[in-house]
């Protein structure tokens, strides 16, 4: 709380509301007593001006293009840390010691297998089902397989559920992929690190040996790290809202997966690569730029713009560099998709439409190029985002459940429908 107060005048009445400060970032006006004092609600569709919770996990300064996990800048974590260390940091608040990291890594590694019966569960899906549809179903179904970690009032069960989800998400995602291509499921290998194990489960087949390239594994780990958390975005808010009713953690994360699927959110990486392919060559870019600017055309440049970043998304910078490294490694010269992406970025960043609206490439603009080069079909892109974000969702869910001020989320509305009226029998309508 600060000494500052916000004054609201309504007619001849004046009301005061306390102003609260966080450690960094804008202050907030505490309007919890607004309805009781004034009989009014606030109106903020899309929550553009509303802080819905306190959080100590992730901080974004959208004007500076800054992203911090527990205070550590994303570019430092991308350069020096690993996804598993970032998971520890997000969950427990501090970087681990060597012993803590080893213990955590072992714990996650020992939970990577899924209940054998889950294999049969997959067979209920059509072969051509989108893997995100499978993820939504299978993650929710975990509550049916792991009953012993659904009591959210027990901190130990909360912890076990968290570890289970971080550990099993890559297995579930790889199984969704294998199912869609008609190949046998591949069991996890405990001797491999998190990213290498995921590549192994996706790309190895019983018929021959699969060698993991360390540069590809590093790029994969980086993609996981860059997507690990992003404060109160749509899917995280969905997880919090679901969890606010005391729903079990698997159901909450399944809700997050479902929300992430939308093309305005995690589905943008798939949409961005499809768009780059649709553009196809550099000479067609002006046509698509014109469409993006045309208000009568619903087309948008996918992978461009962000609700919070009004500057270059710091994750996109790392992704752009990694995309070049991966393509170089794979010997992909003159990749037309990368060329279209780079030229599109250059043109858009000089165009007054994009400059005035502060529309910059976001994390999804380059991630698809990397995932495509590694060999993933576009339908897996959002699945990989969901896997990476699981730790962020869990950290945020645990923070909320542990907060003594937790309340069920229950927004209000501005009602525009009919006032009360009498029911008419069907013969009189």
**Annotated catalytic residue, options 230, 306, 313, 372:** 306
For the chain, give percent helix, strand, coil, nearest 5.
55, 5, 40
Position with the least CB separation from ligand CMC: 305
Q: To the nearest whole angstrom, how small is the minimum distance from the Cβ of residue 103 to ligand CMC?
A: 32
CA-nearest of 203, 141, 191 to 168 is: 141
Q: To the nearest whole angstrom, how small is the minimum distance from the Cβ of residue 217 to ligand CMC?
A: 24
Q: Indicate if 364 belongs to the active site.
A: yes
- Indicate the residue among 217 and 292 with the shorter CB distance to ligand CMC: 292
- Indicate the residue among 171 and 367 with the shorter CB distance to ligand CMC: 367
Q: CA 8, CA 402: separation in Å to the nearest integer? A: 33
- Indicate the residue among 108 and 289 with the shorter CB distance to ligand CMC: 289
- Indicate the residue among 199 and 289 with the shorter CB distance to ligand CMC: 289
Distance, first Cα to last Cα, the chain: 57
Query: Are the C-beta atoms of residues 314 and 320 closer than 8 Å to each other?
Result: no
Q: To the nearest whole angstrom, how small is the minimum distance from the Cβ of residue 306 to ligand CMC?
A: 5
Q: CA 240, CA 246: separation in Å to the nearest integer? A: 10
- Cα-Cα-Cα-Cα torsion 17, 18, 21, 27, nearest 10 degrees, comes to 20
Q: CA 80, CA 74: separation in Å to the nearest integer? A: 10
- Indicate the residue among 197 and 388 with the shorter CB distance to ligand CMC: 388
Helices (H), 228-284: 234-243, 249-260, 268-279
Q: Indicate if 313 belongs to the active site.
A: no
Q: To the nearest whole angstrom, how small is the minimum distance from the Cβ of residue 66 to ligand CMC?
A: 16
Q: CA 197, CA 387: separation in Å to the nearest integer? A: 13
- Indicate the residue among 205 and 264 with the shorter CB distance to ligand CMC: 264
Q: To the nearest whole angstrom, how small is the minimum distance from the Cβ of residue 56 to ligand CMC?
A: 21
Q: Which two tokens stand for residue 228?
A: 């690990």
- Indicate the residue among 199 and 258 with the shorter CB distance to ligand CMC: 258
Q: CA 169, CA 391: separation in Å to the nearest integer? A: 10
**Annotated catalytic residue, options 105, 193, 221, 364:** 364
The SS3 of residue 182 is coil
Q: To the nearest whole angstrom, how small is the minimum distance from the Cβ of residue 98 to ligand CMC?
A: 33
Residues 6 or more apart whose Cβ sits within 8 Å of residue 157:
148, 149, 150, 151
Sign of CA dihedral 400, 402, 405, 409: positive
Q: Which two tokens stand for residue 234?
A: 């749509």
Buried b (16+ CB within 10 A) or exposed e, 387-411: bbbbbbbbbbbbbbbeeeeeeebee
Q: To the nearest whole angstrom, how small is the minimum distance from the Cβ of residue 107 to ligand CMC?
A: 29
- Indicate the residue among 232 and 248 with the shorter CB distance to ligand CMC: 232
Binding site for ligand CMC (CB under 6 A): 233, 264-266, 268, 292, 300-307, 357, 359, 362-364
Angstrom CA distances, 126 to 123, 144, 425, stand at 8, 21, 44
Residue 16 pairs with which residues in a beta bridge? 7
Give residue 124's Cα distance to chain centre.
27
* Catalytic site positions: 306, 364
């Amino acid at each position: 709380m600060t000494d500052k107060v916000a004054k609201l005048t309504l007619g001849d009445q004046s009301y005061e509301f306390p102003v609260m400060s966080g450690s960094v970032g804008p202050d907030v006006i505490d309007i919890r007593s607004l309805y009781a004092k004034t009989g009014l609600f606030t109106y903020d569709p899309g929550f553009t001006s509303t802080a819905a919770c306190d959080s100590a996990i992730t901080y974004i300064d959208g004007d500076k293009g800054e992203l911090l996990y527990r205070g550590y800048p994303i570019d430092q974590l991308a350069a020096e840390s690993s996804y598993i260390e970032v998971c520890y940091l997000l969950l427990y608040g501090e970087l681990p010691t060597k012993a803590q990291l080893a213990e955590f890594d072992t714990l996650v590694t020992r939970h990577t297998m899924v209940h054998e019966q889950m294999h049969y569960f997959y067979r209920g899906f059509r072969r051509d089902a989108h893997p995100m549809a499978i993820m939504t179903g299978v993650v929710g179904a975990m509550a049916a397989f792991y009953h012993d970690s659904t009591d959210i009032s027990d901190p130990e069960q909360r912890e076990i559920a968290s570890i289970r989800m971080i550990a099993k998400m890559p297995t579930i995602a790889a199984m969704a992929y294998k199912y869609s291509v008609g190949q046998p499921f591949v069991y996890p290998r405990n001797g491999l690190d998190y990213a290498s194990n995921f590549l192994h489960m996706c790309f190895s087949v019983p018929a021959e040996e699969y060698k993991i390239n360390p540069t590809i594994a590093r790029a994969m780990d980086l993609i996981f790290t860059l997507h690990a958390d992003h404060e109160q975005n749509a899917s995280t808010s969905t997880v919090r809202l679901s969890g606010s009713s005391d729903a079990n953690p698997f159901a909450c994360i399944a809700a997050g997966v479902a929300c992430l699927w939308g093309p305005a959110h995690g589905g943008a990486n798939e949409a961005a690569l499809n768009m780059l392919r649709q553009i196809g060559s550099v000479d067609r870019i002006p046509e698509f730029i014109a469409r993006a600017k045309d208000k009568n055309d619903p087309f948008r440049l996918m992978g461009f713009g962000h609700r919070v970043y009004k500057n270059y998304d710091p994750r996109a910078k790392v992704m752009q560099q990694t995309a070049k490294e991966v393509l170089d490694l794979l010997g992909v010269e003159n990749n037309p998709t990368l060329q279209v992406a780079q030229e599109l970025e250059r043109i858009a960043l000089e165009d007054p439409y994009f400059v005035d609206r502060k529309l910059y490439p976001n994390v999804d603009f380059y991630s698809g190029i990397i995932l495509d080069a590694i060999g993933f079909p576009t339908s897996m892109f959002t699945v990989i985002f969901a896997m990476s974000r699981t730790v962020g969702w869990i950290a945020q869910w645990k923070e909320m459940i542990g907060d003594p001020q937790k309340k069920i989320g229950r927004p209000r509305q501005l009602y525009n429908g009919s006032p009360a009226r009498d029911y008419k029998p069907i013969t009189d309508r």
